[in-house]
Homo-oligomer: A and B are copies of this chain.
Amino acid sequence: MQQGRPPMEAHKAERAFEPDATPAQTNRSPDGRESYDERRNHILVVATDLIARVGYERASMREVAKAAGVSLAGLYHYFENKEKILFLVQFRTFSFLISSLREQLHGVSDPVEQLRVTVRTHVGHFAANMAALKVCSHELDSLTGDAYEETSRLRHEYYNIARGIVDRIFDTLAPDSPLDRHIAAMSLFGTLNWLYRWYDPKLSRSPSSVANQIVTQFLGGILNTDRAIQRARPDE
């Protein structure tokens, strides 16, 4: 069996928090056995669920191993340590989110349409990967050192995309708005990152209808300050 990645070379440097050179290529063996990548991804899925359910600190390696059907020591054949698991969950989720957002955004020039695409992508991705998105929203500070810097970089990249769209909406539709654009963008982010606390697409409305309402509220909120402002701050 040749397709595995040598795990022992990991000691050679602290470049360990870079992503995989060959990420999850899912090369199944001729027989029915799982490949290294498949097994690794399976463990990652199980770990994501557990971390989402009980939190990173309470999710022990023993429980991850049990849930994944591997021995405790066997877990370390796939991940050099616990933090690496959390890092990979966040790294892959953010990376996928950013790249699919860029893909969806390609060719869309209307800023409002760009916002629609962005919120739709986020909510849709949340509905399809609730555990992973919860972990990304809730365990932001659980990483340390290089792993933290790396995911922090990705979060800012994600923020900058959204912030750029918000800026363009302001520029084209409400260039003289008195609203602080950073606050506006963070309000939107708050709404999106708080989804995991209440929204279950299996119990409630469809992702696209939730996304639509969020976009509608956001646009109304920044486009019609005149009418709202009279009611919102009569004194100041």
Contact = CB atoms under 8 A, between A and B. Distances in A.
Question: Would you call the interface of chain A mostly helix, strand, loop, or mixed?
Answer: helix
Contact of A224 (B190, B199, B227): B227
B217 A187 contact: yes
Interface residues of A, number: 52
A41 interface: no
Given A180-B209, A184-B213, A219-B228, 17 more contacts: A55-B57, A112-B231, A116-B233, A179-B213, A180-B213, A186-B199, A190-B191, A208-B236, A215-B232, A216-B225, A216-B228, A216-B232, A220-B225, A220-B227, A220-B228, A223-B227, A224-B228
Shortest beta-carbon contacts, A-B, top 3: A190-B194, A217-B221, A57-B57
Interface of A: 55, 57-58, 112, 116, 138, 140-142, 179-180, 182-184, 186-187, 189-195, 197-199, 204-205, 208-210, 212-225, 227-229, 231-233, 236
